[in-house]
Amino acid sequence: MSSEPKVKPLRYEIADVGKRVKQSKKKHTWLFEINGEKHRLDFFDSRVSEKKKVTHNGVDILKTKQKAAVFNYSFTVKGQTLNVLHIGDRKYDLRINTKSFQHLPQFNANPKFYDPAAGASRYKESKITGWEDVRAAHEESHD
């Protein structure tokens, strides 16, 4: 039996969440499983204040003010190295054990949430923001 952890990407979403001007702040959400345990990672990026925030399962793990072009944050979850990094023009990627979220096995297997025609980001935009809404949408896609 392999000791390698099973990492399964479930979903990526991006939403405009600014208080006054919606487009002034982006929320990136990655949902994934590590050995069958669900995880949610949210990354907030403010264009105006340049503030960044990372939450894991609703708990703040980083708050900082840093220019987007140099943002790179690494941390560990269940023994796995996660890295949120800037990849271009207000776009960010999650790497799990150095593998891009979009290149993890099984990610491309769910075409409802993957859109190669969307350009460099390769993801559809979504307005779903609540964990329960995301879970329901995920369960619907597997019915």
Which candidate, 57, 88, 63, 62, places its Cα nearest to that of 75? Answer: 62
The amino acid sitting at 48 is V
d(CA 94, CA 72) in angstroms, rounded, equals 10
Indicate the pLDDT class of residue 105, thresholds 50, 70 and 90: confident
Indicate the pLDDT class of residue 73, thresholds 50, 70 and 90: very high
